[in-house]
Chains A and B, each alone.
Chain A
Amino acid sequence: MSKDAPIVYVLDDDYRVRESLTSLLSSVGFRVESFASAAEYLKFKKPDSPACLILDLQLPGMSGLDLQREIAGGDAPAIVFVTGHGDVPSSVRAMKAGAIEFLLKPFDDQELLRAIDAAIVQDREARLKRAEMAELQRRYALLTPREREVLPFVVAGLLNKQTAAELGNSEITIQVHRGQIMRKMAASSLADLVKMAGKLGIS
Chain B
Amino acid sequence: MGKHSRLKYYGLAVIACAVAVALGGPVEAQSSCLLLAIMASSLFGGTGPGLLAVGLSTIAFNFLVLPSPLSLSSPSSHYLRFGVFVIAALATSQLVETKKRIEESRRRIEEALSSTQARLSRATQIATVAELAASIAHEVSQPLSAVVANGRACIQWLSAEPADLANAKVAAERIIRDGKAAGEVVQHMRALFKKTALERVALNVNEVIEEVLSLIHSEAVTKQIAVETDLEKRLPSTLGDRVQLQQVIFNLLLNGIEAMGAVADRPKKLIIRSKMQNSDTILVEVQDYGAGVADSDKVFEAFYTTKEKGMGMGLSICRSIVEAHGGHLGISPSQDPGTQGPGTTFFFTLPLGTMNPNE
- Taking Cβ atoms with an 8 Å cutoff, the residues of A that contact B are 13-14, 16-17, 19-21, 23-24, 26-28, 58-61, 63, 82, 84-85, 104-109, 112
Contacts and interface: CB of A to CB of B under 8 A. Distances in A.
A20 B141 CA distance: 13
B142 A84 contact: yes
Contacts of B164: 27
8 contacts: A14-B142, A16-B142, A23-B157, A23-B170, A58-B138, A58-B221, A60-B221, A61-B224
Given A20-B147, A20-B148, 11 more contacts: A16-B145, A17-B142, A17-B149, A19-B150, A19-B174, A20-B150, A23-B153, A85-B134, A105-B144, A106-B141, A112-B149
Contacts of B142: 14, 16-17, 84, 105
B349 to A, nearest CB: 32
A108 B148 CA distance: 7
A107 B137 contact: no
Interface in B29-66: none
A29 to B, nearest CB: 9
Contacts of A24: 149-150, 152-153, 156
A23 B178 CA distance: 14
Interface of B: 134, 137-138, 141-153, 156-157, 160, 164, 167, 170-171, 174, 178, 181, 218, 221-222, 224, 226
B218 A20 contact: no
Nearest to B158: A27
B146 A17 contact: yes
Contact of B149 (A59, A104, A109): A109
Contacts of A19: 146, 150, 174
B221 A27 contact: no
A134 B160 CA distance: 41
Contacts of B147: 20, 106
A23 B145 contact: no
Given A23-B167, A60-B221, A107 B148 contact: yes
Contacts of A109: 148-149, 151-152
Nearest to B142: A14
A17 B224 contact: no
Given A23-B171, A59-B221, A17 B156 contact: no
Contacts of B146: 14, 16-17, 19-20
Interface centre among A24, A27, A109 (most CB of B within 10 A): A27
Contacts of B222: 58
B178 A16 contact: yes
A26 B143 CA distance: 19
Given A60-B224, A84-B142, A106 B137 contact: no
Contacts of A23: 149-150, 153, 157, 167, 170-171, 174
B174 A17 contact: no
Contacts of A20: 145-150, 153, 171, 174, 178
A106 to B, nearest CB: 4
Contact of A105 (B141, B152, B156, B178): B141
A199 B173 CA distance: 54
Contacts of B160: 27
Nearest to B156: A27
B153 A27 contact: yes
A106 B164 CA distance: 26
A106 B174 contact: no
Contacts of A108: 148
Given A20-B174, A60-B224, A105-B145, A84 B153 contact: no
